Amino acid sequence: MRIMVSADMEGATGVTWTDDVVPGSPQWDRFRRLFTGDVNAVLAGLFAAGASDVLVNEAHSSQRNLLLEDLDPRARMLTGRHKPLSMMQGIDSGVDGVVFLGYHAGAGFDGVLSHTYLENQITGVWLDDVPASEGRLNAAVAAEYGVPVLLVSGDDETCEDARDYAPEAELVQVKECVSRYAAICLPPARTAELLTGAAADAMALAGREERRVRAHRIEVEFDASHLAQAAAVVPTVEQIGTRRVGFDAVNMTEAMKAFKVVTAIAAGAVQGIYG
């Protein structure tokens, strides 16, 4: 059994605010070790339950946060930018299941450091008229390749979101959201035990499924009109409201590629503290 781990950081053990996840600060140095610890806990469970190969796709921000020197030596790690499928790079390599580790709630929803791709410029994303977190978007990509979502970890809001888009998956709540920048956190020894146990149990779900390939529509709402105007210069992207754009794609892979372009252009249009 070959498994992929898509590892984000906002939903990792103990993470609650900006400095925990932004490279360069002492807090980031501290939490990248806890982040690596979460990954190793999941790897322990996957390998114990029969995984023969695990690819860890480093999926947070610069995608250079995990400590390779501390990673379980049985795993392989995909690190760095820029990857065609971003957080889901590797899903097309014949894997039998995917783990969403350290995930978070989507833009416009409660949750620790909740957002969808851009940290604060996007106020909502919809996939086929359903509000979409990164988890929902990535689950749709996985379904296109016939890969089941085995496990999702993060705060309580993340787990509640996952119950809808991945109802069969194991869920691990490592913290309880109090506000965007505060949570009741379990210590690493507790979360490691939970993650390892859930990962081992989740291996029962591994196995290729029928590929679900179909057309999709994504709509994105920004916090300012000029970001929608900037994104609408992309061919196939239409401005459908003062702060909202939408586009159609023949499949989820193409939809996510277009979404990446839209978010990159919007991020480039942000001007200092006025956004």
Amino acid code (one letter) for 253: T
The CA distance from 263 to 260, in Å, is 5
% of residues, the chain, pLDDT over 70: 100
Q: Is 226 one of the catalytic residues?
A: no
Reported as a single tens digit per residue, the pLDDT across 119-150 is 999 999 999 999 999 999 999 999 999 999 99
Nearest Cα to Cα of residue 35 among 3, 61, 1, 74: 61
% of residues, the chain, pLDDT over 90: 95
Pairing of strands 76-78, 97-101: unpaired
Is residue 238 annotated as involved in ligand binding? Answer: no
Is residue 70 annotated as involved in ligand binding? Answer: no
The CA distance from 150 to 160, in Å, is 15
Reported as a single tens digit per residue, the pLDDT across 5-40 is 999 999 999 999 999 999 989 999 999 999 999 999
Q: Is the pLDDT of residue 273 over 90?
A: no
Q: Is the pLDDT of residue 81 over 90?
A: no
Q: Mean pLDDT across the stretch 269-273?
A: 91
Reported as a single tens digit per residue, the pLDDT across 231-242 is 999 999 999 999
Is residue 110 annotated as involved in ligand binding? Answer: no
Q: Which domains does the chain possess?
A: 2-205 (3.40.50.10780), 216-269 (no CATH)
Q: Mean pLDDT across the stretch 153-176?
A: 98
Cα angle for residues 253, 257, 260 (degrees, 5° grid): 140
Is residue 226 annotated as involved in ligand binding? Answer: no
Pairing of strands 149-155, 182-185: unpaired
Q: Is the pLDDT of residue 188 over 90?
A: yes
Q: Mean pLDDT across the stretch 54-70?
A: 94
C-alpha pair distances (Å), 268 with each of 231, 261, 275: 10, 11, 10
Q: Which residues pair with 4 in a beta bridge?
A: 55, 98
Helix axes 134-144, 252-268, angle to 10 degrees: 150
Burial 80-118 (b: 16+ CB within 10 A, else e): eeebebbbbbbbeeebbbbbbbbbbbbbbbebbbbbbbb
Alpha helix positions (H), the chain: 26-48, 134-144, 156-165, 188-202, 225-231, 252-268
Q: Which of 82, 115, 216, 226 is catalytic?
A: 115
pLDDT level of residue 219 (50, 70, 90 thresholds): very high
pLDDT level of residue 177 (50, 70, 90 thresholds): very high
Q: CB of 133 within 8 A of CB of 104?
A: yes
CB within 8 A of 274, min separation 6: which ones?
none
Q: What pLDDT shows up at residue 82?
A: 86
pTM of the model: 0.97
Is residue 164 annotated as involved in ligand binding? Answer: no
Q: Is the pLDDT of residue 50 over 90?
A: yes
